A and B are shown apart, each in its own frame.
Chain A
């Protein structure tokens, strides 16, 4: 257990830190240059970092654990990290044509640092490490939200996000410290074995609820979702896209790990009318209200970004079902779901980034887009239909996989699956509202001229192809996921 071994396991993260510093330095040397050029350079340096990290992860498979679970590398975490890096890479290029800040270097560096936080989060099985990584991610995201200094809404969004986030972090820290007090350990597995055989006493319940509150905030589940619509609406679009995609993947993964490993033994019972306290009914409740409230609130939204925020809340509900299945298949389905969801949401924000600055983000601003910009309209159709769960797109298989996994694990949770499927029927309505504007409505005569940058067009087409391919051939991701889950021994 040498430092060298630790460093070897943390090479991908190290590469990204180096990339973040390089972006800062590179941007510092060209402060007087054209802003777009600086953004392109920033994205390029960042992409090199991400690609190198992905390459390292793929070429040097590691399976080790150092410092009692402070840093765990196994095939599953490696796979999730590859997914995270891919989403980061796409986010970098979505940012290239968004002109909202003069501090280009800092912006790209923060995205990379947030990714480093997420990667450590994915690798951690120790509550201290989890908390530190979570804070690294969160702080970077708060700043990214506030990055548009010219816009009051951005500052307001960041303040809301920060205040809620700070509270949630406090709750989580309190919960984790209680957990430490109860078990005398910080490693998740050690906590579970120390708590084994212990009844669900009030102290443990408090610890559990506090931890659920902390993570519930991160994944924007009801009733801890209040920050999400404002943050999604106010933040610079690429930042919002990043919060909605990459950070969700990492947060859900670690939530599942904490619940499955740390709270093993206090699952309780989540079947309809057979509730017994534990973490399963708690999460089941949060999932149920998220799906209902997210979908119903999304129906009345007139702003596309707010609509995406409420849709994110609803999707948090679906994804929590993957946590509930509490087995290897469940976590596999969760990773598939969050990655494909992240892709579709990132793409949808990318389209908003094209239309928004010129025409606004109201639903009506998209009227007639299919005749003005057919290619990105087609991409938007793919993203919306994937989010609605229409086959053969990835969103459909994601839902099917999660639902099948949770029912397979516990038939009693069928009520939740029925609710989820009913609610996804509701969701088709508001996704179709967006597509109706794009394809059915006519463009108003006075609509401002629209420029579709080539870079973002390429990125959007790539994401759309990804969504289609992963939907038509889910085995491309499901196969490796299953192997990874088996190898990780979950």
Chain B
């Protein structure tokens, strides 16, 4: 049944492509129905699943002569991310309710992207996973280039090329693994069982890991993320930060780390205190956390603040992967889900609620508008999302980051302390942007032009679809924040499976 998430998305994308062009309302209703159906299927599968069990959905030969199979399956990790995708898809469409310019194409590309993302999370054949992974690249380019804002063509091309370079590295690694194993199979399970020579893993692991991690915003390959997020239309920023960056992190975990676990092991020599690829990843992740937060602190553009905060938060995911213990890894997966929800909310407020109405994202300009009075709902949403993003206990960001930090303390006490400082900077930039954008009380800016008082009143009220989308995401964030076991019960047992046993042995834990 889970496979229908993919088919529904692609089929409705195809239908939308050929629908009459002059009915944007029909297009978005159809898109919403398709996304909701996908979400429904994902949620049903998620709650029906037995913790710790891997469910095979489809497994048939696809290209028999090369041993490539069409193998869709799901374990707790896949299910969590599929659920996130469904959630983000529905919310994204609710926040694109005002798109009328070439609406059919917009929603068709949007659903094609969603279909590709579902496919990646459900693939258990490396070739199939790669195919879905690349399918997701092209829609992103067009969505940003056609419907985007600031420097959209630049941002779109940069994002497409970064993704494609990353996937090129992955492809090299996969072909090498396919040939070296000599087993004529691309199955992730089979390949994970094959003991690749350590010397081979030494160079293939970083190649594949970095190839995927480019999309997860690993510092210093993160530069596509802020420009891409800012250039993208609201729904696309929500998806990019919310789901697409997770594709990268998921690939790191599912492909790079399980196939080449010895690549994480110690090299046997030290380079500037780093003794393995694992150390390198942890260091880069922490640099990403701190750097992203510091850069976010000084941005003048509202959306860039959120763009850099995504880089910072994805650093936690990568740090969690580098811990190689169950608590850190499950924290990483939890963080993927929560950041998907929170980043979606933040981008929705910035892109849809604020920018579409005020037509500016300059924090200095917003300061004079007293948006908290004009749009209390937007301000309230942003405060909730911001607080969750800061990691206040009781809100969802806290648990995931705490788990990652606990996991990291074992191997990297110094880095953990540095990360703690990064969290402080995170609080600083969130409060700063919250204050400037919504609760600005700068009398100078307010007096800046006499018309300001009028524009405040001229803003359209927050529409029903927007409220609905925000409520869905806030609810998800609160539920998981107060009762994380709803996800952890399914994530944790997945790491006990044979796949990750090898990983933990290889990592020298």
Give the residues from 424 to 464 in chain A that come closer than 8 angstroms, CB to CB, to chain B. Answer: 424-425, 428-429, 432, 435-436, 439-440
A17 contacts chain B at the CB level, 8 A cutoff: no
Please, which residues of chain B bring their CB within 8 A of the CB of A425?
161, 164-165, 168
Q: Closest Cβ of chain A: how far from B443's Cβ, in Å? A: 44
Please, which residues of chain B bring their CB within 8 A of the CB of A436?
145, 153
Q: Closest Cβ of chain A: how far from B104's Cβ, in Å? A: 10
Please, which residues of chain A bring their CB within 8 A of the CB of B138?
385, 390
Q: Closest Cβ of chain B: how far from A439's Cβ, in Å? A: 6
A422 contacts chain B at the CB level, 8 A cutoff: yes
A11 contacts chain B at the CB level, 8 A cutoff: no
B130 contacts chain A at the CB level, 8 A cutoff: yes
Query: Considering residues B66, B137, B180, which has the most beta carbons from chain A within 10 angstroms of its beta carbon?
Result: B66
> In the complex the two chains form, what is the Cα distance from A391 to B171 in whole Å?
12
Please, which residues of chain A bring their CB within 8 A of the CB of B451?
none
A166 contacts chain B at the CB level, 8 A cutoff: no
Please, which residues of chain A bring their CB within 8 A of the CB of B64?
475, 479
> In the complex the two chains form, what is the Cα distance from A407 to B130 in whole Å?
19
Given the known A-B contacts A421-B168, A424-B168, A440-B145, are A407 and B179 also in contact in the complex, defined by CB atoms under 8 Å?
yes
Nearest residue (CB) in A for B131 is A391
Given the known A-B contacts A385-B138, A407-B176, A408-B179, are A428 and B131 also in contact in the complex, defined by CB atoms under 8 Å?
no
Please, which residues of chain B bring their CB within 8 A of the CB of A475?
62-65
Spot the interface stretch: A37-45, A266-274, A410-418. Answer: A410-418
B160 contacts chain A at the CB level, 8 A cutoff: yes
Please, which residues of chain B bring their CB within 8 A of the CB of A428?
160-161, 164
> In the complex the two chains form, what is the Cα distance from A418 to B135 in whole Å?
21
Q: Closest Cβ of chain B: how far from A403's Cβ, in Å? A: 5
Number of inter-chain CB pairs below 8 Å: 75
A62 contacts chain B at the CB level, 8 A cutoff: no
Please, which residues of chain B bring their CB within 8 A of the CB of A429?
157, 161
B498 contacts chain A at the CB level, 8 A cutoff: no
Which single member of B17, B168, B178 contacts A422 (CB below 8 Å)? B168
B142 contacts chain A at the CB level, 8 A cutoff: yes
Given the known A-B contacts A428-B161, A439-B146, are A411 and B179 also in contact in the complex, defined by CB atoms under 8 Å?
yes
Please, which residues of chain A bring their CB within 8 A of the CB of B171?
400, 403, 421
Please, which residues of chain A bring their CB within 8 A of the CB of B458?
none
Q: Tell me the dominant secondary structure on chain A's binding face.
A: helix
Cβ B176 vs Cβ A414 within 8 A: yes
> In the complex the two chains form, what is the Cα distance from A357 to B211 in whole Å?
43
Give the residues from 88 to 109 in chain B that come closer than 8 angstroms, CB to CB, to chain A. Answer: none
Which single member of B135, B153, B168, B172 contacts A391 (CB below 8 Å)? B135
Cβ B179 vs Cβ A391 within 8 A: no
Given the known A-B contacts A440-B146, A482-B65, are A404 and B178 also in contact in the complex, defined by CB atoms under 8 Å?
yes
Please, which residues of chain A bring their CB within 8 A of the CB of B424?
none
B141 contacts chain A at the CB level, 8 A cutoff: yes
Give the residues from 451 to 499 in chain B that come closer than 8 angstroms, CB to CB, to chain A. Answer: none
Please, which residues of chain A bring their CB within 8 A of the CB of B127?
400
> In the complex the two chains form, what is the Cα distance from A378 to B112 in whole Å?
15
Please, which residues of chain A bring their CB within 8 A of the CB of B153?
436, 440
Please tell me the size bucket of the interface on A.
20 to 34
> In the complex the two chains form, what is the Cα distance from A414 to B168 in whole Å?
14
> In the complex the two chains form, what is the Cα distance from A400 to B167 in whole Å?
13
Give the residues from 376 to 406 in chain A that come closer than 8 angstroms, CB to CB, to chain B. Answer: 378, 385, 390-392, 396-397, 400-401, 403-404
> In the complex the two chains form, what is the Cα distance from A392 to B127 in whole Å?
11
B175 contacts chain A at the CB level, 8 A cutoff: yes
B134 contacts chain A at the CB level, 8 A cutoff: yes
> In the complex the two chains form, what is the Cα distance from A407 to B172 in whole Å?
10
Which single member of A414, A435, A478 contacts B63 (CB below 8 Å)? A478
Which single member of A417, A432, A439, A478 contacts B66 (CB below 8 Å)? A478
Give the residues from 460 to 482 in chain A that come closer than 8 angstroms, CB to CB, to chain B. Answer: 474-475, 478-479, 482
Give the residues from 151 to 199 in chain B that come closer than 8 angstroms, CB to CB, to chain A. Answer: 153, 157, 160-161, 164-165, 168, 171-172, 175-176, 178-180
Cβ B146 vs Cβ A390 within 8 A: no
> In the complex the two chains form, what is the Cα distance from A428 to B131 in whole Å?
16
Cβ B137 vs Cβ A404 within 8 A: no
Nearest residue (CB) in A for B162 is A425
> In the complex the two chains form, what is the Cα distance from A424 to B175 in whole Å?
15
> In the complex the two chains form, what is the Cα distance from A482 to B17 in whole Å?
37
Cβ A404 vs Cβ B179 within 8 A: yes
> In the complex the two chains form, what is the Cα distance from A22 to B324 in whole Å?
74
> In the complex the two chains form, what is the Cα distance from A304 to B424 in whole Å?
53
Cβ A390 vs Cβ B137 within 8 A: yes
> In the complex the two chains form, what is the Cα distance from A404 to B179 in whole Å?
7
Q: Closest Cβ of chain B: how far from A345's Cβ, in Å? A: 19
Please, which residues of chain A bring their CB within 8 A of the CB of B142?
435, 439-440
Nearest residue (CB) in B for A439 is B142
Given the known A-B contacts A425-B165, A440-B153, are A392 and B146 also in contact in the complex, defined by CB atoms under 8 Å?
no
Please, which residues of chain B bring their CB within 8 A of the CB of A400?
127, 171, 175
> In the complex the two chains form, what is the Cα distance from A424 to B165 in whole Å?
9
Cβ B168 vs Cβ A404 within 8 A: no
Please, which residues of chain A bring their CB within 8 A of the CB of B179?
404, 407-408, 411
Query: Considering residues A408, A422, A424, A425, which has the most beta carbons from chain B within 10 angstroms of its beta carbon?
Result: A425
Q: Closest Cβ of chain B: how far from A490's Cβ, in Å? A: 15
Cβ B63 vs Cβ A421 within 8 A: no
Cβ A421 vs Cβ B131 within 8 A: no
Please, which residues of chain B bring their CB within 8 A of the CB of A482?
65
Give the residues from 115 to 138 in chain B that come closer than 8 angstroms, CB to CB, to chain A. Answer: 127, 130-131, 134-135, 137-138
Nearest residue (CB) in B for A370 is B105
Nearest residue (CB) in B for A424 is B168
> In the complex the two chains form, what is the Cα distance from A408 to B176 in whole Å?
9
Please, which residues of chain A bring their CB within 8 A of the CB of B66?
401, 404, 478
Please, which residues of chain B bring their CB within 8 A of the CB of A424?
168
Please, which residues of chain A bring their CB within 8 A of the CB of B135?
390-392
> In the complex the two chains form, what is the Cα distance from A188 to B454 in whole Å?
87
> In the complex the two chains form, what is the Cα distance from A411 to B182 in whole Å?
12
> In the complex the two chains form, what is the Cα distance from A390 to B135 in whole Å?
7
> In the complex the two chains form, what is the Cα distance from A14 to B389 in whole Å?
75
Please, which residues of chain A bring their CB within 8 A of the CB of B62?
475
> In the complex the two chains form, what is the Cα distance from A56 to B305 in whole Å?
68
Q: Closest Cβ of chain B: how far from A64's Cβ, in Å? A: 27
Q: Closest Cβ of chain B: how far from A199's Cβ, in Å? A: 31
Cβ B65 vs Cβ A421 within 8 A: no
Provide a sorted-by-A list of 26 A–B residue pairs whose CB atoms are within 8 angstroms.
A390-B138, A391-B130, A391-B135, A396-B134, A397-B63, A400-B171, A400-B175, A403-B175, A404-B175, A404-B178, A407-B175, A407-B179, A411-B179, A411-B180, A414-B172, A421-B172, A428-B160, A432-B141, A435-B142, A436-B145, A439-B142, A440-B142, A440-B146, A475-B64, A479-B64, A482-B65
Seed contacts A397-B63, A439-B145, A479-B65; 20 additional CB < 8 Å A-B pairs? A378-B17, A390-B137, A390-B138, A391-B134, A396-B131, A400-B171, A407-B175, A407-B176, A411-B179, A411-B180, A422-B168, A425-B164, A425-B165, A428-B161, A428-B164, A432-B141, A436-B153, A440-B146, A478-B65, A479-B64
Q: Which 8 A-B pairs have the closest CB atoms?
A: A391-B131, A425-B168, A421-B168, A440-B145, A407-B179, A425-B165, A428-B164, A425-B164
